[in-house]
Amino acid sequence: MANVALRNVHKTYAGGFEAIKGIEFDVGDGQFCVLVGPSGCGKSTLLRMVAGLESITGGEIDIGGRIVNAIEPADRDIAMVFQNYALYPHMSVYNNMAYGLRNRRMPEPEIDTRVQEAARILELGAMLERKPRQLSGGQRQRVAMGRAIVRQPKVFLFDEPLSNLDAKLRIAMRVEIRKLQRRLKTTSIYVTHDQLEAMTLADILVVMNGGRVEQIGNPLEIYQKPATTFVASFIGAPPMNLMALHEAGEFHAPGRDGILGIRPEDLLISSDTPSGGLVLNLTVEAIERVGAETYVYGIRSRQGEAPTVSARPGELPPGEVIVRVPGAVGPAIGERIRASAPRDKLHLFSADGRQRIDI
């Protein structure tokens, strides 16, 4: 096992396009780090740079105290699990898992020991003689993970390994990957665009946007105190409500603009008004019932109507707001409701969305 450190890492392609813009973070020995962000943010490029599959324009990548910038991928002591499994179709499960070890001229008894142990851990023992075409998608992904495990590397790298699976299998495999990583205690870096996957897997969460890091921290910390409006809207489902604060009231310095945020679950449909909190008068536009909870989409004013005005400090301008309520019973479409939140549940950001401000 080993720690991984990225120090001011850059990647610029021919023509001057800068895909990675000075990224720095550390992954401790045995930790599970997840890189999350939208398509095109640079997360897979960064992972491939750690693996040695992409060259580095600037900065350093340190794996286990060794700078690996100029070291070939095969010599970095890492193992990578890809999105598309990358299994040899003509080989059995056993031979797929053993192939890399044979290339390294490892003795057959040692190969067999490692393959059998990996198969036991991944519950593949009954499938060792099958070909990939005889396996389900989840079983193929476990074979790909087994091929990485037998290497006994210092670092596991996962490049969106669950994106080809259906929703139910994704959940099951997500749990299995986390249990496996905790059992093996191998330092891991995992790339995904799925914020729920990222939140449930990570010890360290790295939120990326446009080739930069927006925020680094543990998942709960990032959820509770997002550093920017991008993080606030990207992490969480449904996303945080973000609204321009034109009249600051008690939430901001007089005469300045800002952006106020509130999580859907922190809004309550009630006639009560919290002291110093937020009050929104809404007209229900849409409802999503998802079993244990209901998402209510409201708007402060309909087109052609004057916005509802409240005398309470902190009232926000018109716009769509999502309220999450428990259970399957909620207001009806077209109904006027009042949603409120206490002051300690509010989030305030600068007008450009780049800085969190203490309320």
Pairing mode, strands 18-27 and 32-36? unpaired
Q: Measuring CA to CA, which residue among 50, 48, 52, 41 is closest to residue 19?
A: 41
One digit per residue, the tens of pLDDT, for the chain of length 359 reads 689 999 999 999 998 999 999 999 999 999 999 999 999 999 999 999 999 999 999 999 999 999 999 999 989 999 999 888 788 999 999 999 999 999 989 999 999 999 999 999 888 989 999 999 999 888 898 899 899 999 999 999 999 988 888 888 888 888 888 988 888 899 999 999 999 999 999 999 999 999 999 999 999 999 999 999 999 999 998 899 988 876 433 445 455 678 999 999 999 997 766 666 788 889 999 999 988 899 999 987 544 444 444 434 444 555 789 999 998 777 899 999 989 888 899 999 999 999 999 87
- 25 in Cβ contact with 217 (< 8 Å): no
Quote the pLDDT of residue 350.
Answer: 92
- 228 in Cβ contact with 237 (< 8 Å): no
**Cis peptide before 238, with omega less than 30 degrees from 0?**
yes
CA distances to 56, 109, 245 from 345, in Å: 42, 60, 16
Question: Cα separation of 6 and 43, whole Å?
Answer: 13
Quote the pLDDT of residue 248.
Answer: 35
What is the torsion angle, in degrees rounded to the nearest 10, for the CA atoms of residue 164, residue 168, residue 171 and residue 176?
-80
Whole-model pTM: value is 0.87
Quote the pLDDT of residue 214.
Answer: 97
Domain-wise residue ranges, the chain:
4-229, 238-357
Quote the pLDDT of residue 304.
Answer: 43
Q: Quick check: helix, strand or coil at residue 319?
A: coil
Do domains 4-229 and 238-357 share one topology? The answer is no
* First and final C-alpha spacing in the chain: 42
Question: Cα separation of 319 and 243, whole Å?
Answer: 7
Fold classification of 4-229 is Rossmann fold (3.40.50)
Query: Would you state the CATH architecture of domain 238-357?
Result: Beta Barrel (2.40)
